[in-house]
Amino acid sequence: MPALVTGCAGFIGSHLTESLLQDGEAVLGVDCFNDNYGRRQKLHNVERCRNWENFDFVPIDLTRGDLADVVDECGVIFHLAAEPGVRSSWGDRFEAYLRNNVLATQHLLEAASMAPEKRFVFASSSSIYGQAARFPTAETTVPQPFSPYGTTKLDAEHLCHMYYANHGVRTVILRYFSVYGPRQRPDMAFDIFCRAALGGEPITVFGDGEQRRDFTFVGDVVAATRAAALRDEVIGRTYNIGGGSQASVNQALELISELSGRQLNVRHLGWQRGDVRETGADITQARADLAFEPRTPIPEGLRAQFEWVQSEAMAT
């Protein structure tokens, strides 16, 4: 039976879909093309996937209609569809986060409860930790979201736990840490920095640039996500998926400056609401249960992303 990938036209979803197809798996991809960034780029993300005969694409809004037929057709569910972004989750847009992160997850879980033997892999976020007190941060840390986005992802996690406990849905929760790489969303820092470096444009950094992140290459995230669908001992559990090392924003900018061969014009502005000072993943449990090992160091991953941005710029 095909794998169901929600958010298949997004950044991580398109990479996961391609990986499955390359290994001969059939995929039913769904996406609702919400307005967090352009439909044209999302369609471009799945352009290569359409070359496979065992790929079916259906535009679906998970918050509307009956999903039972979609779930019934599939053997495993990878739920990556979401309303992303910390800074844009305040104010009037919070309703979109509730709809696309909480309500959509509940609808999909409800459909999955009719066939609880199917694996349900849910893509959560390190944003559920907020300003963590200890680094690296383990899964046992009490979540304290620092943004509306983080709150909705934690709410979706709670739904996964409830449907596992009450309906037997075989959920696995993965908390992704600062994913980057080719096809990264245009609102994310590395994509913005790479494009500005190529165009000789000024770069805006919120804060002093010393904030540290556990940056995780998209290929490593895909490997962990696929592993979560295969191992029985992970059912009902939650795992951090991080890059294995931290870097500051300023260190990332230095790497991009080297890749572009030019001095960057960096302007610093005040901190943004919801931004945290540091993230760092304790991946001990993912190593043990998922055989997860991040293989892409930041210099190598940033080079791959920079070269992809460069090739996209030359093609337009």
Q: In 10 A of CB 316, how many CB atoms?
A: 4
Separation of alpha carbons 76 and 46, rounded Å? 20
Per-position b or e across 231-241, b if 16+ CB within 10 A of its CB: eeebeebbbbb
Residue 140 is given by DSSP the state T
Answer whether 77's CB lies under 8 Å from 37's CB: no
Asked if 129 and 279 touch (Cβ cutoff 8 Å), the reply is yes
Report long-range pairs for 227-232 (Cβ below 8 Å, ≥24 apart): 227/290, 227/291, 227/292, 228/119, 228/121, 228/172, 228/174, 228/290, 229/3, 229/76, 229/78, 229/119, 229/121, 229/172, 231/289, 231/290
- What does the alpha-carbon distance between residue 79 and residue 96 come to, in Å, rounded to a whole number? 17
Could you tell me what percentage of the chain is helix, strand and coil, using 3-state DSSP and rounding each to the nearest 5?
A: 45, 15, 40
Instruction: Give, for 85, the enclosing helix (H) or strand (E).
Output: none
Decide: 148 and 274 in contact? Cβ < 8 Å. Answer: yes
Given the residues 97, 149, 163, 164, the one annotated as active site: 149
Nearest to 134 by CA among 246, 279, 306, 307: 279
Rounded-to-integer distance, Cα 160 and Cα 163, Å? 5
Q: Among this protein's residues, is 164 annotated catalytic?
A: no
User: Catalytic residue positions?
Assistant: 149
